[in-house]
Amino acid sequence: MRTAALVADRLRAAGLAVHTGVGGHGVVGVIDGPDPGPALLYRADMDAVAGDERYVSGFASQVPGAAHLCGHDLHTAIGVGVAETLARLRDRLAGRVVFVFQPAEETLEGARAMIDDGVLDRYPAREAYALHCAPLPVGVVAALPGAGLPGQDTCQVEFTGPGAAGTARQFLDRVGELATVTKPRSADDFAALVAALQTPDGPLAGFVFAESHLAQDGDPVVADVWLRVWPESRHAELRDRLRQLAAQAGAVVTFPGPPFPAMVCSTELSEAAATYLRDVPGVAEVMTARAAWPFNGEDFALFLHRVPGAMFWLGVADPGAGVNGITHAPDFAADERAIGVGVRAMAGLLLHRLRAA
């Protein structure tokens, strides 16, 4: 809420037309250039993660219990920086740029709330862009043509009767066997993962990542299961598999809702952006990811369902200085030099796309 108010103040001060309270605490800022042209959308998420920060920095969260473990504070700062940069260049703009500052990404509720509130109807856009912090070195930006982030599914499984606890543990082992990919545990694992990301039709062309644990060890015994699935067309098959495993264990499985969609970036727009980004000062390398990153989801997926566009990975790591850039790790740390890279890259890209027919 306080973040949304700060963002709105900065956007107003820069001269944008600002709309607050969009789908909750969402903020929209609009810049119209003097000449007609396309409308582009840029989305930044601005929520934190429950917990406390371990990384000591000048920009650590000051709020107990709210930690910037996914780098959304950088996303917010970059979004404001891009808006301020384009506002200074307003006289040269042909068209419109709509900045969407979105809350509640982590709970997968924020994008849906803003879209349900009509943000895409009131501000229709030809293309939509966003970026996310990633454990790549500062200066590296990755484009994800045809790739992105997996779909997500979750269920609860209840075991009752004698031996329920043992049966549940066996069930969790079976769920673990559905996984075709596991989180990297060493620098070598991570290097192999980065290589696989860049390999078309390689080991990550299709994958299942599974996490599960006992949420309740009493009567009933309850297991929580989360799956990340790529491509998302495999969700139905995996639900069937989970139902089978539960039936074999005499357990009852409940899916609280439909699977959450995968985020799939436009091949054409990602490749066009990659070509452009190679010439941006401060961008040392543009990596092309040909496969999805298996361990996270993203509700920007819902924007990309409505508007073609792309998300980029922004390197925020400095391994030599112990800055890991691993989002959602308890000791997540980001190098703030990445903010400057992100602002130059995204402001430049939006200007470039306004001129693209």
CB 105 to Zn ion: min, Å: 6
Residues 6+ apart with CB under 8 A from 238: 153, 178, 208, 227, 229
Total residues belonging to the chain: 357
Number of residues that bind Zn ion (CB under 5 A): 1
From the list 69-77, 172-180, 268-276, 283-291, the region that binds Zn ion by CB under 5 A is 69-77
Per DSSP, 97 falls in state: E
Query: What is the DSSP track for 127-187?
Result: EEEEEEEEEEETTEEEE-TT-EE-EEEEEEEEE-STTHHHHHHHHHHHHHHH-S-----SH
Q: Per CB under 5 A, which region of 62-70, 217-225, 251-259, 308-316 contacts Zn ion?
A: 62-70
Cβ at position 6, least distance to Zn ion in Å: 19
Any contact of residue 70 with Zn ion (CB under 5 A)? Answer: yes
Q: Which of 154, 20, 45, 41 is nearest to 105 (CA)?
A: 45
Q: Among 46-54, 66-74, 89-97, 206-214, which window interacts with Zn ion (CB under 5 A)? A: 66-74
Task: Give the nearer residue to Zn ion in terms of CB position, either 298 or 318.
Answer: 298
Residue among 70 and 168 whose Cβ is closer to Zn ion: 70
User: Is the CB of 70 or the CB of 291 nearer to Zn ion?
Assistant: 70
Q: How far apart are CA 280 and CA 96, in angstroms?
A: 22
> What count of other Cβ atoms lies within 10 Å of the Cβ of residue 49?
19
- Taking the complex as a whole, the smallest distance from the CB of residue 114 to Zn ion amounts, in Å, to 16
148: alpha, beta or left? (left if phi > 0; alpha if psi -120 to 50)? left
Near Zn ion by CB under 5 A, which window of 63-71, 137-145, 152-160, 168-176? 63-71
Q: Which residue, among 48, 14, 52, 44, has the nearest Cα to 28 in the 3D structure?
A: 44
- Tell me if 334 contacts Zn ion by CB under 5 A: no
Closer CB to Zn ion, 70 or 144, in the complex: 70
H/E stretch holding 73: helix 72-88
Which residue, 159 or 260, has its beta carbon nearer to Zn ion? 260
Tell the smallest beta-carbon distance from residue 304 to Zn ion (Å). 15
C-beta nearest to Zn ion: residue: 70
Residues near Zn ion (CB under 5 A): 70
